[in-house]
């Protein structure tokens, strides 16, 4: 394993204006973007999250990282191509720690994005992956899940990540 210094970025909390802004597309992979990808993954794992979007670390770029337990997925300039079905369940966000709310999302999503090498690919997700893709892509347009919550938010503890 290579000797890479882990770099954590500060996760912006709801109320920070950066979370309400629309992000710009990434046009090329620079060393700075590669570092951002590594830092976002490190930050997401350290915070026990399943996804993280650029604006959550103060970067207004169309980039998200997701890992629902099947390995990391990097999505640059992602676009949802198809969505279908419906699922309703608890959703939380690293930018609103300790809270969750009931949100209805598509149960199936197909998206197109670029990977860390700017290779275009398509990804399909169901259940948690579909939820994560929709949630993270909302951040890129300045939206948070709290806009979609049905009923009040509730407190959560993360003692058992396998909930």
| Residue 78 located in a structural domain | yes
| Residue 105 located in a structural domain | yes
| Residue 6 located in a structural domain | no
What is the domain extent for residue 120? 17-155
Report residue 6's pLDDT band, with 50, 70 and 90 as the boundaries.
confident
| Residue 5 located in a structural domain | no
Q: Is the pLDDT of residue 3 over 60?
A: no
Domain total for the chain?
A: 1
SS3 annotation, the chain: CCCCCCCCCCCCCCCCHHHHCCCECCCCCCHHHHHHHHHHHHHHHHCCCCEEEHHHHCCCECEEEECCCCCCEEEEEEEEEEEECCEEEEEECCCCCCEEEEEEECCEEEEEEECCCCCEEEEEEEHHHHHHHHHHHHHHCCCCHHHCCEEEEEECCCCCCCC
The pLDDT assigned to 162 comes to: 40
- Express each pLDDT in 65-93 by its tens digit: 999 999 999 999 999 999 999 999 999 99
The pLDDT assigned to 4 comes to: 61
- Express each pLDDT in 7-64 by its tens digit: 899 999 999 999 999 999 999 999 999 999 999 999 999 999 999 999 999 999 999 9
| Residue 10 located in a structural domain | no
120 is a catalytic site residue: no
Annotated active-site residue in 122, 136, 150, 162: 136
CATH of the domain at 105: 3.90.45.10
């Amino acid at each position: 394993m290579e000797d890479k210094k882990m770099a954590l970025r500060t996760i912006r909390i709801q109320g920070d204006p950066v979370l309400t802004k629309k992000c710009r597309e990434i046009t090329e992979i620079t060393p700075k973007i590669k570092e951002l990808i590594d830092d976002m993954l490190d930050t997401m794992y350290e915070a026990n999250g399943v996804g993280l979007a650029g604006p959550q670390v103060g970067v207004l770029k169309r980039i998200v990282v997701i890992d629902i337990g099947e390995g990391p997925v990097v999505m640059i300039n992602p676009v949802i191509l198809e969505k279908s079905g419906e699922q309703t369940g608890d959703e939380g966000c690293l930018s609103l720690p300790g809270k969750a709310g009931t949100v209805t999302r598509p149960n199936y999503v197909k998206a197109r994005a670029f990977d860390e090498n700017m290779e275009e690919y398509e990804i399909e997700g169901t259940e948690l992956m579909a939820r994560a893709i929709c949630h993270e892509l909302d951040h890129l347009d300045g939206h948070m899940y709290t806009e979609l919550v049905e009923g009040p938010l509730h407190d959560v503890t993360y003692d058992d990540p396998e909930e």
